Structure formats: structure tokens, C-alpha cells
Amino acid sequence: MVSALLYKGVTSGLVLIGFMSPAQVVIEPGDKNVNGSGLKTGKFTWAWFEDERRDMGKEFLTIQRANQKITFVKRRVSNNMDANDVDSLVLDANTLAPIYRDYKGGEVTFSIQYSSNLKGSRTVYETRGKEVLNEAFDGKSFDKESLPLVISCLPLSKGYQAFIPIVDYTSEFKPVYYTYRITQVIDQLVDSDVSGQHDAWKVTAFERKRGYEYVLYIDKISRRILKMDFTVSSVLLNHNFFDKETDVNPIKAAFNQEETWAMIMKGTSSIKGQAYTRAFGKKSFGYRNGKQYAQQGSVVLLIPNTPYFKEWVNYNATLSKKNPAYTVDWGGAFGGTGGSNKTTIGSFYPLPPEVSKCMVTTTVIDDKGNFVFENLKPGEYLVFVSFMANKYSHSTKTPTGSYNIYINGDGSGTAVPIDNVTAWLTPQNIQSYKYITVKKEGEAITVLFND
């Protein structure tokens, strides 16, 4: 996924070909083994990680077929950098031969027209220089960015091997030709939190000269690329891409937006609540009765508990058990203190926009943790409140050097050390929810929320 255009030190004008035995297949544009009609089209969002844990950002992919051409657009958005690269590639719909490529990045832009010659231009922002490309092209190589698509269109089977010639471009904007070898194809079951288990091919493709390796997980039936790992062994680079399946809805219950909207806008009932927590058991730690109320302005959420929402809640509860969320702090690894380098990783399926519009939010209205929802119709609701509070975490004992002396009736005694005991309170996110049933119009329900 890393273009040689962005890196110095790549030798230009080379043809990099690995050793090929006569029995192994060379796949070129136009080869009958390339089934372009089987390419999975649509809009996809890929999570982008480094070493499978550091959240780097996302890739937004669009693959369209029209007028005997395939347009492949990849927009990469980084979390920690200003990079927002867009790479567009036009391919022949049947052969996947490259026709045109356009790249716009933070440091460089270029465009290339593929025919009997490679014609194009490149602009490097730092130097403001414009370079022109005009080189002969024999049409026997795929553009490097199309390699995963090409592999997904091959007649994969267990033990399948092939060589795939690729053209890329050096830092001097010259074409460089090299060959990927499919070294392994094996059966692999891939679990998805969204769409379940997939019977897939695990395909390994390796380029020997530069040590580049792709590992792709491709659904055997749909030919959808579920996951992809890209590794450069020479620099210990390992990037991982996971299809987030944003186009797949795992919730099977039907959602009626009009009926749901009526539940929260056209009724005469209300739900009043008070949210608080205790510092620790019966100990008050300076708080009256140990209570800490949700701060004014804390957000409270109400969800009409329709069949759709019920399934959604249960689905995400199952996900959290299978793959609990955890936080990785990358700040220490880079000499920082955390902050934006902290990543929460876990499974969660978000509500579609049309569904989330039917949730109601309000805020705590005073320093006693009170809130209210009005205009509700009879039905069942899920009310969720979240706020920060100081909770007991641990205590320490510090010897004072003094003792309490106890003398028994028989003359024996006991000396008990006197310790200073310090209890520590730490800020914690308090979350509480309740299912509440409104039985009739005009009903006013009051509920306490505490942990």
C-alpha cells in the first residue's frame, strides 16, 4: 500500500523479476484467468492499524463498474498526521489492465496515462517542480495499487501459485517493474462481528527484491477482501487493514422510523430521574451521606425500546463479551504522555443514522443530578446516564510511631501500632441504565439511578 513515489533511494529503470520455474503461471493483463466480472464492487471502509494494535486511521474505498471500466478510488485518512491521500485508478473492466491513475497527497501529486507509452506528470510541493513522464510500456504489467483486486479475481484454490508482474514508480518518477509471487493459498475461517463466519482463502504474495509481502483474506463466494496485511521486512513495517463492513446491517428486526418518532414526540407522559453514586459503601469521604450527584450538564440518553433497539442492545452486549474493549497508550512508546496517542479497541456496532435520530438526549438540570424526559407515549424505554465522579480506589497505612496500650485484668498487656490511614478517591466514569415502562398517557414516573 506504500507507493515508491514517496520514498527516496529506490533504483529507477530496473526490471525486478524473481526466479520462475517453467511450470508456474505468469498472470498478465488479458490473461483468461483474470475474471474482472467477479470483482466485488461497492463502497467500503477499512480500519487501518500498525502491528494490529496502533490505530492509524481509515481507508475509504469505492469500486465502481461502468462503460467497460472499473474505477477504484482509495482515500486514506490518518489519525495522527495531516495525510489525506486520494489515489484513483481506472482499469479495463475485463482484464484489469491499467488505463489511468491520479494521485493527490500531502507531498506530491501525479497523473499517468497508460497506453503504448506511459505519459504523465508529477508535482512535488516542496520544490514546486514539475516532472514529465514519457516511457515505453508493453502493457504486460498491472499497476501496483491494483494488486489486491487482481488477486481477488484469480481462480484461487488450495496450493495455487502464480507470478504477477507489477509496474510502480520511483522517487525520480521513473517506471520500475517487479514481480509478486503467490507463494501460498490455504483455507481460512474468518470471524466477523458483523456478518458472522466466512469461508475464505488466505493468500500470501511476496516480492523478493524489496521484501514486500501481502497477506489477503478473501471470501470464497463473494470475493470480498475481508482483511489485508502489508509487510516490508527490511524496515519492520507491518500495516493491517480490516473491512469494517459498514454496508452490512447485522440487525434483522425491521425499523419503523415514523412509529418510533411518534413514541418520543406525541405523548403526554414523562420520566423524571435523579442520578448519583456513592464514594464507597457507607463511607462519605466528605460527601453528605457519601452521595455524589451527576454534575449539571451531564448527558442522559433515552431510547424507545422497540424490537430493533432491543436486538441492537443485545447484539452489542454479545460483542462486548466476545471482544471486550481495552485501551492502548502509545504515548510512552514515542516519548510522549499519551493523550491523542491513546486508542480504545473493541467491538461495537453503531446505530445507522436514521435510527440514531430517534434517540432523545437531555442533560442534568441542577446540582442534585435531576433530569426529565417529556412528551412520551406509553411503551418501554431504555434510559442511560453517564457522568464523572470520585470513587474509592485504595487506601494506604503510614505508621505514626505511637501505640495504643491495652492492660488486661490478669496484668498482661498488648501494644497496637497507631497508623494514619489515607483513602484515595479517583475520577471514574459512572454509567447506569434502567428499562422503564410507561403504562398510560399522562403518567409521570420518577426513578433513581445509582450504582
* Partners of residue 117 on adjacent β-strands: 136
Task: Look up residue 110 and give its three cell numbers.
Answer: 501525479
Residue count of the chain, please give it: 451
What average pLDDT score do residues 113-133 get? Answer: 90
**CB crowding 385-413: b at 16 or more within 10 Å, else e:** bebebbbbeeeeeeeeeeeeeeeeeeeee
pLDDT of res. 449: 85
Measured CA to CA, the distance from residue 48 to residue 241 in angstroms comes to: 5
The pLDDT of residue 266 is above 50: yes
Q: What is the mean pLDDT of residues 308-332?
A: 67
The residue behind cell 508482474 is: 165
Q: What is the pLDDT of residues 162-192, one digit of tens each?
A: 999 999 999 889 999 999 999 999 999 998 8
Which residue is listed with cell 483474506?
217
b/e for 208-243, b at 16 or more Cβ within 10 A? beeebbbbbbbbeeebbbbbbbbbeeeeeebbbbbb
Name 135's Cβ contacts closer than 8 Å, sequence gap at least 6: 117, 118, 174, 175
> Does residue 161 have a pLDDT over 90?
yes
Helix (H) or strand (E) holding 314: helix 307-322
Q: How confident is the model at residue 346 (pLDDT cuts 50, 70, 90)?
A: low
pTM of the model: 0.66
Secondary-structure percent of the chain, ordered helix, strand, coil, rounded to 5: 10, 55, 35
148-162, 188-202, 340-354, 428-442: least confidently modelled range? 340-354
Instruction: Give the pLDDT mean for 85-89.
Output: 95
Q: Is the pLDDT of residue 118 over 80?
A: yes
Mean pLDDT of 150-173: 94
Compute φ and ψ for 242, nearest 5 degrees: -125, 130
d(CA 437, CA 37): 53
pLDDT beyond 50 at 333: no
pLDDT given at position 425: 64
CA distance linking residue 156 with residue 165, whole number of Å: 17
How far is it, in rounded angstroms, from Cα 284 to Cα 264? 38
In this prediction, what percent of the chain has a pLDDT beyond 90? 50
Q: Which residues contact 335 (CB under 8 A, 6 or more apart)?
A: none
Mean pLDDT to the nearest integer, 112-130: 90
Strands 108-114 and 299-304, by their bridges, are unpaired
**pLDDT above 90 (res 68):** yes
Q: Which of 142, 123, 183 is nearest to 34 (CA)?
A: 142
Q: How confident is the model at residue 121, as a pLDDT? A: 95
* Across 50-54, 120-124, 349-353, least confident range: 349-353
Q: What is the rounded average pLDDT of the residues 198-220? A: 95
Spell out the residues 6+ positions from residue 401 whose beta carbon is closer than 8 angstroms to its own: none
Is the distance from CB of 168 to CB of 144 less than 8 angstroms?
yes
Give the pLDDT confidence score for residue 338 in this predicted structure.
35
Say whether pLDDT at 117 is over 70.
yes
Q: At residue 2, does pLDDT exceed 60? A: no
pLDDT per position as a tens digit, 273-290: 999 887 654 444 444 456
Q: Would you list the domain boundaries of the chain?
A: 4-243, 257-449
- Quick: pLDDT tens for 224-259: 999 999 999 877 889 999 998 888 888 889 999 888
Q: How would CATH label the architecture of 257-449?
A: Sandwich (2.60)
In degrees, rounded to 5, the angle at the alpha carbon of residue 311 between the alpha carbons of residues 309 and 317 is: 100
Q: Looking at the predicted structure, is the pLDDT value of residue 363 above 60?
A: yes
Fold classification of 4-243 (topology level): YmcC-like fold (2.40.360)
Q: Which of 62-71, 183-192, 341-350, 427-436 is predicted with the least confidence, judged by mean pLDDT?
A: 341-350
Closest CA to 143 of 38, 4, 243: 4
pLDDT at res. 182: 97
Q: What is the mean pLDDT of the chain?
A: 82
